[in-house]
Structure 1
Amino acid sequence: MKYKRYSLALIIAVAALILSDGKLFASDTDARIIAAAEQSYVFKTYLKNDNIIVTAKNGAVTLTGSVVDESNKMLAKETVASLPGVTSVDNQLTLRGGLSASNSDTWLMARVKSTLLFHRNVDGMATNVSVENGIVTLRGEANSTAQKDLTTEYARDVDGVKGINNEMTLKNTVITPEKQAQDGKKIGESTLGQKLDGMNEAIDDASTSALVKTTLLLHRSTSALNTTVDTEDGVVTLGGKTGNAAEKDLTGKLVSDVYGVKRVVNNMVAATDGKTAP
């Protein structure tokens, strides 16, 4: 009888220890998730002026606070969702100043600005964007005609844009081989784009995935595609289906120009290929 009592006590003690260890493990994982989110490149650059509170319980993350626009709300969610250990994201972020109606000029201006900021071969920081009745006007300086034209194409492809008026001027500068060498660039290497604050630091994979996913949602050409995104050491692997080979190629090109992307592995399957997407 005494032996049975001892056995029962031992079982209870072991069970309590297992439960305790489980809670400690979950608590430790949650702490890592919160720290990773707050230290992510996206949170420290694009979202640094927003008021975002991250909480986690057993891998389920809740975002509260306020952000400046819908694009930042989307970006915060995608960043956290891409972190290891996250099982779900409850995005309760609100918009500062209230919600702008879809397709309103204010709403559209925020989407165009975000799109330009996510791409490295245009100068989103130096491009002024204004919108009136769906017509986007771009002002500022471009490094080249190619950069000016690319800015037009990116802005035109934002869902809701009815037309583009590009009044950007070209910078009156000549970049010599000596100047490129001083800047640490190889001769002929692209000098397009202005780096965001903190751009010199490494971009974590969760931030890269979030930037890619949000970029694809903002572009009209790719917003309807169900694209999967996986990033490892800056190499982005795309999966899912596209309507045709042109859509697949365009998706790959847009992604290759997103900050943090070192290389793109495009495993998307076009319907015209006659294959089945994994």
Structure 2
Amino acid sequence: MRTDAQIKQDILDELAFQPNINETQIGVVVKDGIVTLTGLFFSYALKIAVVQIIEKIEGVKAIAEGIKIGYLSNLNKTDTEIANAAINAMEWNDSVPNDKVIVEVDNGWITLLGELEWAYQKDAVRQIAENLSGVKGVTNSITLNQFALQPEDIKEKITKAFKRSALVDALSITVETTRHAVKLTGNVQSVTEKKEAEKVAFNALGVYAVQNELRVDH
């Protein structure tokens, strides 16, 4: 089992290795495999990138991030500018149906509303919003309206998808389905595998919600 000191050093080394990240802006504390982050960034997208990098470090069980988003005066955007930029970006993205998403912006925080058919569309909208200049955070409240499927059919599709994945150990995960909701239990080897399992389940046809109770086992 890796020590907290080893995990922290790997995190610092990996952040220093990234050309677009100033590791001196980030405070890192590791206790029992749980990473707590603090600091100030001038990009919400960069904050997301840091979290994704740390999730891949061996030994990390969870991340509690307290990174704040601030702005240089020449990069500050009004809510109207952010909303217009979001709408324009979505119109240029083939994954997002036109006129299906409502964008609300309050003090730099985007709330996404509307109804889509597929989880990948919902995820695409979130990624578009996260990468916009001036954004402080994103709440994705888009709902899914898919075809009616029986719970056992949904479970079978997810289980087969796990078996096809090179990143997920299908034998270590139990899938339970109730109507359009999925519950995942069992043990996985990393936070990355846990998130990948949730992503696979969420992208299955007929799934509206995923309760991810997978435990990271080291």
TM above 0.5, one fold? no
> Whose Rg is larger?
1
TM-score (norm 1): 0.32
TM-score (norm. length: structure 2)? 0.38
